[in-house]
Amino acid sequence: MPDIIQLLPDHVANQIAAGEVVQRPASVVKELLENAIDADASEIKLIVKEAGKTLIQVIDNGMGMSTTDARLCFERHATSKIKTADDLFKLHTKGFRGEALASIAAIAHVELKTKTQGSEIGSHLKIEGSEVLSQEASVTPKGTTITVKNLFYNIPARRNFLKSNTVETRHIIDEFHRVALAHPAITFTMLHNNSEVFTLPASNLKQRIVAIFGNKTNVKLVPVNEETEIITISGFVLKPEFAKKSRGNQFFFVNNRFVKSPYLHHAVSAAFEGLLKDGMNPGYFLFLEVEPTTIDINIHPTKTEINFDNEHAIYAMLRSTIKHSLGQFSIAPILDFNRDANLDTPYSFAGKKPSIPIIEVDKNFNPFQNDRKTTSFRSSFRKEKTASWESLYVGLKDINEHVNASEENKIEGLNLENIEFESEEVTGNLFESSEEKTGQLTFQLQNKYIISPIKSGLLVINQHLAHQRVLYEELLKNMTIQEGVSQQLLFPLGLNFSIQGLKTLLEIKEQLENTGFVFSKIEKEVIEISGVPISISEKNIKNVLEQLVADLQDEVPDASFSQNDVLARSMAKSLAIKNGTALAEEEQEHLLHRLFACKEPTISPTNKQVFVTLSINDLDKKFN
Ligand code: ADP
Ligand code: MG
């Protein structure tokens, strides 16, 4: 057989990479704005026409590029921001992949004008579909102007896939807000179709928030500040009465990079507990600073998700800091306006000298005396877990079939079923452990229920139904806002379906693609898949799709909404962890956090109750 493998030409490789980096005009806006910030610009102007479909231009007064760099910056993996793999763990720039400009130049008409501080003359470069058309010397001010025209001109499928101008403009404005909020000291302007949409002078964070969201925002903000060894938290939350039904106004920045984190969101929501009406969402602009070596921002191609080393500690600190800020805020108006006259100093006391109050102290008290009492349930549980650890590997069978969601991958390959959660070491200490106070203590019953103490008693959660709810909301969201992230399969996977089955799948192809499926070929009875949503592991693909076809054929949905619904429900059902699957303690907690970040945590997409509460009252009655 002759040799058949060849290296892809650069422009093809760049186009493929562009698929990851540039999903829509807003992605270009984000990359260009971030480059301007990395170039230390103090003034950045964004000009957009027709929702970025015809023009996106970013003008900065940053450091500019030399003539050689102006050419090199469009090469793939060309970056000035990291040199060694080690640098990945101490990032201080927004970019580092060196892919953005190469990708953009592969799928648009791009022009670059740039000049560095010291040079007399700058460069002007034109590039289309990765091909450099011209490079000339040019008179231009210090800094860089990048002009991107006719995005996706050479990928019509992509271009057709773009949403209405209103939707695409919304996405651009979202990106603009995120960057502008993270850098209040930089002056930003944005023009859309020749009219000025935002003019944001250099300012502090509060002024920046007000400049973006309007004057009325000023009175709604509650400052949040906390500094500990592992994290510095600053920013603002919106007073509870300004909470909204929608999920807008929720911003997390970690080391000044915008991130999405359902986990952190949950911590904030927990701090607002009892202060918000049902279905209302808190608003926040929170900045978290941590040691760059303790986070991993590299897990997501568009870099908005994040992993922390100290996830649990950060959760607890964030929650208590915000609670504290909210507490201070609700006390403040009482002191200012509704002063209780009884607290005033009587006139007759005015001239008296204060005397030192006498405090009685139990000198014999030693907080460390009773060691036994301070052993927490959790630590005794941990001991138990490690003790039986080695025995877990004895007679290890493939239990992977039980574990369907790849998100729960951590538990694959470990047979935890023998662990006795009701360890003898569990004593009355349960209610004295510090973890109990933060409400994070969980354990698993019969590998089926997760038990978690709450203030008023106990929660008993069905793990399978809980995970169904979590996946269902995620999938539905991905389908409607089309943000499903897909993972490329190493080898495309061909699956056979009946003609009828294939027809059913074709009808929902678009929705499937929105969840993250990529279909490389659909012919006769074979469907070839080259990418899948990250929540699906390769061995599950067949199952999920077959179940889906079956479910869809059972129901005959009419409106596209209900079709999305059937799809999300079916996938959630087949992907959710099964009852009988052992979950590590962190996994139980993670599932709980995700469940309670859901819109409807109480009920599964299949209409079953997800958890029951057992109140202290209920228990008391049993002992009567
Ligand atoms: P990355 O930002 O990941 O390094 P990019 O493709 O976005 O990759 O940019 C490649 C390189 O081009 C950057 O590392 C930087 O050196 C240079 N560059 C891009 N935009 C600008 C700009 N606005 N000003 C100065 N240099 C820039
Ligand atoms: Mg960049």
Can you tell me which atom of ligand 1 is nearest the CA of 104?
Answer: 6
- Opening angle at CA 90, ends 86 and 92, nearest 5: 135
The amino acid at 409: N
CB 565 within 8 A of CB 508: no
Q: Which pLDDT value is given to residue 34?
A: 96
Can you tell me which atom of ligand 1 is nearest the CA of 96?
Answer: 3
Q: Which pLDDT value is given to residue 276?
A: 85
Q: Which pLDDT value is given to residue 369?
A: 56
Task: Determine if ligand 1 sits within 6 Å of the CB of residue 36.
Answer: yes
Least confident stretch, 155-164, 226-235, 353-362: 353-362
- Opening angle at CA 599, ends 598 and 604, nearest 5: 75
Percent of the chain surpassing pLDDT 90: 35
CB 149 within 8 A of CB 25: no
pLDDT at 299 over 60: no
Instruction: Name the residue with the closest Cα to ligand 1, atom 19.
Output: 35
Task: Determine if ligand 1 sits within 6 Å of the CB of residue 100.
Answer: yes
* Overall average pLDDT of the 362-388 stretch: 44
The ligand whose atoms approach the alpha carbon of 80 most closely is: 1
Distance (Å) from CA 174 to ligand 2 centroid: 18
Q: Which pLDDT value is given to residue 9?
A: 82
* Overall average pLDDT of the 158-186 stretch: 92
CB 116 within 8 A of CB 62: no
CB 289 within 8 A of CB 231: yes
Better-predicted residue by pLDDT, 347 or 278? 278
CB 270 within 8 A of CB 60: no
Task: Determine if ligand 1 sits within 6 Å of the CB of residue 70.
Answer: no
Task: Determine if ligand 1 sits within 6 Å of the CB of residue 541.
Answer: no
The ligand whose atoms approach the alpha carbon of 87 most closely is: 1
Q: Which pLDDT value is given to residue 382?
A: 38
pLDDT at 374 over 70: no
pLDDT at 423 over 50: no
Pocket test for ligand 1, best of 43, 59, 79 (most atoms within 8 A of CB): 79
User: Average per-residue pLDDT in the chain?
Assistant: 79
Can you tell me which atom of ligand 1 is nearest the CA of 97?
Answer: 3
* Cα gap 39→42, rounded to integer Å: 9
The candidate with the shortest Cα–Cα distance to 65, out of 148, 142, 147, 132, is 142
Model confidence at 340, pLDDT cuts 50, 70, 90, reads very low
Q: Which pLDDT value is given to residue 368?
A: 60
Q: Which pLDDT value is given to residue 284?
A: 96
* Overall average pLDDT of the 294-319 stretch: 78
Can you tell me which atom of ligand 1 is nearest the CA of 99?
Answer: 6
pLDDT at 104 over 80: yes
Q: Highest-confidence range of 157-161, 166-170, 432-436, 439-443, by mean pLDDT?
A: 166-170
pLDDT tens, residue by residue, 60-100 = 999 999 999 999 999 988 888 888 877 777 777 887 778 89
Instruction: Name the residue with the closest Cα to ligand 1, atom 14.
Output: 79
Better-predicted residue by pLDDT, 301 or 461? 461
pLDDT tens, residue by residue, 183-234 = 999 999 999 999 999 999 999 999 999 999 888 888 889 999 999 888 999 9
Task: Determine if ligand 1 sits within 6 Å of the CB of residue 98.
Answer: yes
Strands (E) located in 187-342: 187-192, 195-200, 221-227, 232-238, 250-254, 257-259, 284-289, 295-296, 307-308
pLDDT tens, residue by residue, 508-558 = 888 888 888 888 888 777 888 988 887 788 888 888 888 888 877 766 544
Q: Which pLDDT value is given to residue 353?
A: 59
Better-predicted residue by pLDDT, 209 or 603? 209
Task: Determine if ligand 1 sits within 6 Å of the CB of residue 35.
Answer: yes
Can you tell me which atom of ligand 1 is nearest the CA of 78?
Answer: 10
Q: Which pLDDT value is given to residue 400?
A: 35
Better-predicted residue by pLDDT, 341 or 27? 27
Least confident stretch, 158-167, 310-319, 324-333, 395-404: 395-404
Helix spans in 272-340 (H) = 311-336
Q: Which pLDDT value is given to residue 253?
A: 95
Judged by DSSP in three states, 348 sits in helix
Cα dihedral sign for 418, 424, 428, 434?
negative
The candidate with the shortest Cα–Cα distance to 50, out of 164, 177, 130, is 164
Instruction: Read off the pTM.
Output: 0.57
Task: Determine if ligand 1 sits within 6 Å of the CB of residue 112.
Answer: no
Q: Which pLDDT value is given to residue 555?
A: 62
Burial class (CB in 10 A: 0-12, 13-18, 19+), 568: buried
Pocket test for ligand 1, best of 31, 38, 110, 298 (most atoms within 8 A of CB): 38
Q: Which pLDDT value is given to residue 297?
A: 67
Model confidence at 413, pLDDT cuts 50, 70, 90, reads very low
